[in-house]
Amino acid sequence: MAGNQRPSSEIQIRVNSRRGYNAVHPVEIDATTPQQLSSSAAAAASPGVLREVKHFKKWVPWLIPVFVVANTIVFIITMYVNNCPDNSDSCIAKFLGRFSFQPFKENPLLGPSSTSLQKMGALDVSKVVDDHQGWRLLSCNWLHGGVFHILANMLSLLVIGIRLEQEFGFIRIGLLYVISGFGGSLLSALFLQSNISVGASGALFGLLGGMLSELITNWTIYVSKFAALFTLVVIIAVNLAVGILPHVDNFAHIGGFLTGFLLGFVFLIRPQFGWVSQRHASPAYDSAPVKSKFKTYQCVLPLKNIYGYSNKKENRNYPVAFFGKFIFERDSSIGTAISLSWLTVGLVMLLRGVDANDHCSWCHYLSCVPTSKWSCKTEPAFCWSNQVGDQLNLTCSSNNKTSTYTVSNPSSSRIQGLCTQLCS
């Protein structure tokens, strides 16, 4: 062919390398006439017919919204169980009845009491170790300390989680979320053994960690690589920095982030665009050298990566499927080994009653740095009580404050609530 004309049988595949585009768009053929395109015989003979091949499936996100609804329902149930009017005389938003909030001095997040959170499954190390309630390592991720707490976490979950679920599907992101939450709870329980802990922050940081490892693993797919990396690192650093403030469980953040970062190498790997474009090219181009599906650095970490494609070009319909959508491919894995080792060793240490602070004298600064403005001492409230008729006398053990309340036959949760206010 002379000049710039192309044969009518030629087809060009243009793969948009910008991250987030999910289709291969063939380029129009210069020599193909409208008459040729209208002819079914010509269409069958020529591979140049326009078509769109979707090689990265775009998932419809539904699991993340379900998580948000589930967290909200659990919070409403927690407020119902809390029943502030029966346990305190100074509830906030009393017009809400039993859904009203604990006094601001007791819970500045507008939420339930710590006793109610314990009843609902908050992370309490003594109950996990002594009472064998290991399920609290998972249940605490679905509880929140107050309205402000759940609003911040759920908005973050929607922003981060929906984008990930659209690209990688509900199975991978669901597993990443739940396992990261467990990892965050585990590290928190090893270091913060005198506090109760609730919140989805560990799972959220797991999604952030997964995003970082996904960016590293699929580096060649991104156009603005360093801009994306810089933005993500800044977001992670700022959130971890906030964690050094008092009453914030930064160990859950760190544990969730590290777990998600390692799992991201397993769950969130993408084939290279060169392999994808060759896979969807015309049969006339099968004689071209077979391109590698993954770069060498992508194959270092994953063990059982979940993909939507077979690794063999000549066997595109490999029959081993997972829920009809995914294919497990076996490779050597450092990431999976480290993840499983950390979760297993950490759980064994916790169930044996190991306090990680005994083996790391400075690690407590990762969760709270004391300054002249605040203290990092978060000992649970304890009071001496004396009931005479309708008079209840309480003395806080930490600050020696004493107060008298007029209450008849107070429940243990009512006394604990009054004690918490007195010691605050």
- Whether 47 and 79 have beta carbons less than 8 Å apart is answered as no
Among candidate residues 192, 243, 239, the one with its CA nearest the CA of residue 377: 192
Give the number of domains in the chain: 3
* Same domain membership, residue 229 and residue 179: yes
* Same domain membership, residue 129 and residue 227: yes
> Known catalytic residue: 39?
no
Among candidate residues 150, 54, 136, 34, the one with its CA nearest the CA of residue 351: 136
* Same domain membership, residue 399 and residue 340: no
HSE-CB at 47 with a 13 A cutoff on CA atoms is 14
From the list 88, 100, 113, 201, the catalytic residue is 201
318 is a domain residue: no
Torsion-angle region of 247 (φ positive above 0: left; ψ -120 to 50: alpha; else: beta): left
Tell me, yes or no, if the pTM score tops 0.85: no
* Same domain membership, residue 142 and residue 253: yes
SS3 342: helix
Identity of residue 136: R
SS3 281: coil
SS3 396: strand
Tell me the CA end-to-end span of the chain in Å, nearest whole number: 86
- Concatenate the DSSP letters of all residues of 33-81 into one string: -HHHHH-HHHHHH-TTS---B--S------HHHHHHHHHHHHHHHHHHH
* Same domain membership, residue 152 and residue 17: no
Boundaries of domain holding 398: 383-423
Residues 6+ apart with CB under 8 A from 206: 176, 177, 179, 180, 181, 183, 184, 256, 257, 259, 260, 263
From the list 149, 253, 339, 413, the catalytic residue is 253
Helix residue ranges per DSSP H, 318-397 = 335-351
Identity of residue 52: E
* Same domain membership, residue 350 and residue 233: yes
* Same domain membership, residue 246 and residue 108: yes
* Same domain membership, residue 30 and residue 73: no
* Distance of alpha carbon 83 from alpha carbon 113, whole angstroms: 9
- Whether 165 and 63 have beta carbons less than 8 Å apart is answered as yes
pLDDT at 286: 53
pLDDT at 301: 46
- Concatenate the DSSP letters of all residues of 184-240 into one string: HHHHHHHH--SSEE--SHHHHHHHHHHHHHHHHHTGGG-SSHHHHHHHHHHHHHHHH
pLDDT in tens, the chain (424 residues): 555 554 444 434 344 444 443 333 333 333 344 444 444 444 444 444 444 444 557 889 999 999 999 999 999 999 999 999 988 778 999 999 999 999 888 888 999 998 899 999 999 999 999 999 999 999 999 999 999 999 999 999 999 999 999 999 999 999 999 999 999 999 999 999 888 899 999 999 999 999 999 888 877 777 777 887 888 888 888 888 877 776 789 999 999 999 999 999 888 877 654 555 555 555 555 555 555 555 544 455 444 444 444 444 434 433 333 333 333 344 335 767 888 899 999 999 999 999 999 999 889 888 888 877 666 766 667 788 888 888 888 888 877 888 888 887 887 777 877 887 777 6
- Whether 22 and 243 have beta carbons less than 8 Å apart is answered as no
* Same domain membership, residue 259 and residue 177: yes
* Same domain membership, residue 116 and residue 194: yes
* Same domain membership, residue 111 and residue 198: yes
> Known catalytic residue: 201?
yes
* Same domain membership, residue 91 and residue 33: no
SS3 160: helix
67 is a domain residue: yes
Count the neighbouring beta carbons within 10 Å of the beta carbon of residue 79. Answer: 22
Tokens describing residue 399: 């600050």
pLDDT at 121: 96
How distant, in Å, are the alpha carbons of 157, 355, 383 from that of 139?
A: 17, 22, 28
Assign 3-state DSSP to the chain and report helix, strand, coil percentages, each to 5.
50, 10, 40
* Distance of alpha carbon 56 from alpha carbon 270, whole angstroms: 9
